[in-house]
Amino acid sequence: GAGVSQTPSNKVTEKGKYVELRCDPISGHTALYWYRQSLGQGPEFLIYFQGTGAADDSGLPNDRFFAVRPEGSVSTLKIQRTERGDSAVYLCASSLRAEAFSGANVLTFGAGSRLTVL
């Protein structure tokens, strides 16, 4: 697609429930990223995929959070036993993989999925 698409745009759930958030990256982008943005804060890194595999999952806060990208395109962020502190906007981004200066890749972000845990 033309941009990074995230669904749902808004999700309200009850404490303890399971939630899935979906990200459809830009076609041809091999790298996919998940970030979390709490109110009044900057985005916080969660996990990064290069192709189908998680290249860096050091930002996942605990084992309730899990993400997959089985075919190297669409990714799903899964949150088990949600807590009120999980309420935030979950941002997905994608990028091309650069051969040089790979750390300087520009991320294209989606509009985010706003999660509210009651």
Q: Which of 14, 27, 58, 71 binds other proteins (CB under 8 A)?
A: 58
Q: Does 62 bind other proteins (CB under 8 A)?
A: no
Q: Output phi, psi for 70, to 5 deg.
A: -60, -30
CA distances from 102 to 16, 50, 54, 99, 106 (A): 39, 12, 16, 6, 9
Hey, how many other C-beta atoms are within 10 angstroms of the C-beta on 17?
Answer: 13
- Which lies closer to other proteins via its Cβ, residue 4 or residue 19? 4
Which member of 19, 21, 23, 31 binds other proteins (CB under 8 A)? 31
Binding site for other proteins (CB under 8 A): 3-4, 31, 33, 35, 40-45, 47-48, 50, 55-56, 58-59, 91, 93, 101-112
